[in-house]
């Protein structure tokens, strides 16, 4: 009996080894362990086994059963593994991925503007806006620009037949915001388009993009302006960027400064690049706003503020080494693709 069991075990394991699919495995199970299987048949003869051998035979029977069951199970896993391996055979993972609709790209100006906005929002500025078709009051008068200032003539500024104009800077949003304000402080940034009557060439557009900033409260100082704008430009150009403020003149700020940042150009020494204008809001601007509002919320004796403005097109050109500003309005997809995320 023991010998019979050994030979059944050998026979079963050979059959398992030869099995190539799951149905053969099932047949092996039925042949040996099924109700009429050969191992089952032998086990039914247990009662005829002499008592002193029962223990050994019983153990052997169990051993054979386990060996066959385990063999079937592991063969099953092996077959499945082979099938799974076969399923990925021939797949070349080095091929390019399926593109779907592909990805587009944000316009570089949008990206720069968003970077500037995110940075300034972290510094506590909120967004503001105003019309691009403006009155002379909002674009010039209220910004302390004399009636015969050169910027106001028809050679430099687009006018509408009704006397309104296309704003020459986003600074008009300063006035709009202060006119509508209910209380201080004001801490806004206003990205937007501005217009100047310039022929379009490699460095000029007649419609361009600016970002204006204004902070007005009762204790704003030049130190706030300096700290805020240094922080801003270091976020944009890197934490070690040198920033300098040169005295300048703008009608609507006093004192006024131009801001340079020191940037390395490829293969050249680092150079100071003019990047923005800024200054402390001129009291005459507060006076004009008060007159327009009909109150004294912006008391020129106690209210102070700083304002700044920068050209986003120029910023994009500097950051991306774009040599011709017209790329920004042509929207050649080969250009736009270079700015994909």
Partner 1 sequence: MQVSLSWLSTHLDLSSYSVAQLSDLLTFAGVEVEGIVERGVTTDKVVVAQIDSFVQHPNADKLSVCQVNDGSGTPRQIVCGAKNFKAGDKVPLALPGAVLPGGFTIKEGKLRDVASLGMMCSGKELGLGDDHAGLLILSPDSPIGTPFNQLNPADVLFDLEITPNRPDLLSHLGLARELSALTGIPLKGQRDYTKTSTPTKLETSNLKLETPSACPLYTARLIKGVKVGPSPEWLRRRLESIGLRPINSIVDITNFVMMEMGQSLHCFDLDKLNGSIVVRNASEGEQMLALDGQTYTLQADDLVIADQKRAVAIAGVMGGEETGVTEATTSILLEAAYFTPSNIRRTSRRLGLSSDSSYRFERGIDPQQVAGGSELATKLILEIAGGTADDVLLVAGETPVLTSEITLDDDRARKLLGTPDLSSDEIRSILTKLGLTHQNGRWTVPSYRADLQRPVDLIEEIARVIGLDRVPSKMTAVAVPSDATDRAYDFAMTIRQALVNRGCFEAQTLRLIADAQLPDTLGGGTGVAVKNPLSEDHTTLRPSIIPGLIATAALNIRQGTDRLRFFELGRVFLKLPNGNSREEERLAILISGPVSPSSWHARTPQAADIHELMGIITNLPGLSRVSIEPKAVKESPANFLLTSELRAGNRNLGWIAQLHPSRARDISARHPVYVAELLLSALRQGSTGPAKFEELPRFPGMTRDVAMEVPADLPHAKVAAFFASQKEPLFIASEVFDVFTDPTGQKIAKDRKSIAWTLTYRSPEKTLETAEVDAAHTSILSALEKSLPATVRR
Q: Which of 25, 30, 12 lies closest to 77 in space, CA to CA?
A: 25
294 binds partner 1 (CB under 8 A): no
Q: Which is nearer to partner 1, 72 or 175 (CB)?
A: 175
- Contact flag: residue 233 with partner 1 (CB under 8 A): no
CA 52 to chain centroid: 81
Strand 186-195 versus strand 207-217 pairing type: antiparallel
Measured distance CA(119)–CA(110) in Å, rounded: 14
Q: Which member of 34, 136, 226, 319 binds partner 1 (CB under 8 A)?
A: 226
Q: Which is nearer to partner 1, 76 or 197 (CB)?
A: 197
133 binds partner 1, rule: CB under 8 A: yes
Let me know if 319 is exposed, middle or buried by CB neighbors in 10 A (0-12, 13-18, 19+): middle
Stretch that binds partner 1, among 42-50, 69-77, 106-114, 317-325 (CB under 8 A): 106-114
> Hey, which bits of 114-185 come out as E strands?
126-127, 133-134, 165-166
| Residue 146 CB burial class (10 angstroms; 0-12, 13-18, ≥19) | exposed
320 binds partner 1 (CB under 8 A): no
228 contacts: CB under 8 Å, gap ≥ 6:
123, 215, 306
Environment class of 3 (CB within 10 Å of its CB; exposed 0-12, middle 13-18, buried 19+) = exposed
150 binds partner 1 (CB under 8 A): yes
Q: Least distance to partner 1 from the beta carbon of 100, Å?
A: 6
**Residue number with CB closer to partner 1 (55 or 326):** 326
User: To the nearest whole angstrom, how small is the minimum distance from the Cβ of residue 219 to partner 1?
Assistant: 7
Instruction: Report the residue number, 52 or 332, with the smaller CB distance to partner 1.
Output: 332
From 5-13, 19-27, 60-68, 156-164, span contacting partner 1 (CB under 8 A):
156-164
- In angstroms, the Cα distances linking 266 to 1, 234, 271 are 91, 20, 11
Q: Does 238 bind partner 1 (CB under 8 A)?
A: no
**Complex with partner 1: residue 23 or 101, whichever CB lies closer:** 101
Of 26, 141, 224, 235, the one binding partner 1 (CB under 8 A) is 224
CB 280 within 8 A of CB 225: yes
For 46-81, the DSSP string reads GGGS-HHHHHHHHHHHHHHHHHHHHHHHHHHHHHHH
Closest CA to 143 of 281, 257, 303, 293: 281
> Contacting partner 1 (CB under 8 A), which of 23, 44, 240, 331?
331
Q: Does 242 interact with partner 1 (rule: CB under 8 A)?
A: no
What SS3 class is residue 253? Answer: strand
Label the pairing between strands 133-134 and 253-263.
unpaired
- Of the candidates 8, 61, 68, 109, which one interacts with partner 1 according to CB under 8 A? 109
Is 50 an interacting residue with respect to partner 1 (CB under 8 A)?
no
By CB under 8 A, the count of residues binding partner 1 is 88
CB of 324 to partner 1, least distance (A): 15
Per CB under 8 A, the list member of 17, 88, 95, 202 interacting with partner 1 is: 95
Candidates 48, 148, 264, 269; binder of partner 1 (CB under 8 A) is: 148
DSSP state, residue 159: B
Nearest distance from residue 335's CB to partner 1, in Å? 10
Q: Which stretch binds partner 1 (CB under 8 A): 42-50, 60-68, 71-79, 160-168?
A: 160-168
User: Residues 227, 265, 270, 291: which binds partner 1 (CB under 8 A)?
Assistant: 227
Binding mask 167-206 for partner 1 (x = CB under 8 A): ------------------xxxx----x-x-xxx-----xx
Establish if 324 lies at the interface with partner 1 (CB under 8 A): no
Identify the residue whose tokens are 């361009």.
208
How many whole angstroms from its chain centre is CA 40? 69
């Amino acid at each position: 009996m023991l010998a019979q069991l050994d030979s059944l075990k050998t026979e079963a394991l050979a059959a398992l080894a030869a099995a190539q699919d799951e149905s053969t495995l099932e047949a092996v199970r039925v042949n040996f362990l099924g109700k009429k299987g050969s191992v089952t048949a032998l086990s039914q003869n247990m009662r005829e086994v002499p008592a002193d051998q029962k223990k050994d035979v019983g153990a052997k029977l169990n051993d054979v059963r386990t060996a066959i069951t385990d063999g079937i199970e592991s063969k099953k896993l092996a077959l499945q593994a082979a099938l799974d391996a076969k399923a990925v055979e021939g797949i070349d993972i080095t091929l390019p991925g399926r593109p779907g609709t592909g990805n587009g790209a944000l316009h570089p100006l949008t990206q720069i503007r968003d970077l500037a906005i995110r940075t300034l929002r972290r510094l506590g500025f909120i967004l503001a806006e105003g019309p691009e078709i403006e009155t002379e009051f909002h674009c010039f008068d209220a910004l302390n620009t004399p009636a015969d200032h050169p910027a106001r003539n028809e050679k430099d500024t687009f006018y509408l037949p009704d006397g309104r104009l296309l704003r020459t800077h986003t600074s008009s949003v300063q006035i709009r915001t202060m006119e509508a304000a209910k209380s201080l402080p004001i801490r806004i940034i206003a990205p937007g388009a501005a217009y100047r009557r310039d022929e379009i060439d490699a460095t000029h557009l007649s419609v361009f993009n600016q970002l204006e900033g204004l902070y007005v409260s009762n204790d704003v100082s030049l130190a706030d302006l300096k700290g805020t704008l240094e922080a801003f430009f270091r976020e944009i150009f890197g934490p070690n960027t040198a920033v300098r403020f040169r005295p300048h003149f703008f009608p609507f700020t006093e004192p006024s400064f131009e801001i340079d940042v020191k940037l390395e150009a490829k293969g050249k020494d680092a150079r100071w690049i003019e990047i923005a204008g800024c200054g402390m809001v001129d009291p005459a601007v507060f006076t004009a706003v008060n007159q327009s509002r009909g109150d004294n919320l912006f008391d020129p004796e106690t209210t102070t503020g700083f304002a700044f403005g920068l050209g986003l097109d120029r910023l994009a050109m500097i950051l991306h080494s774009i040599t011709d500003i017209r790329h920004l309005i042509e929207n050649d997809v080969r250009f736009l693709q270079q700015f994909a995320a």
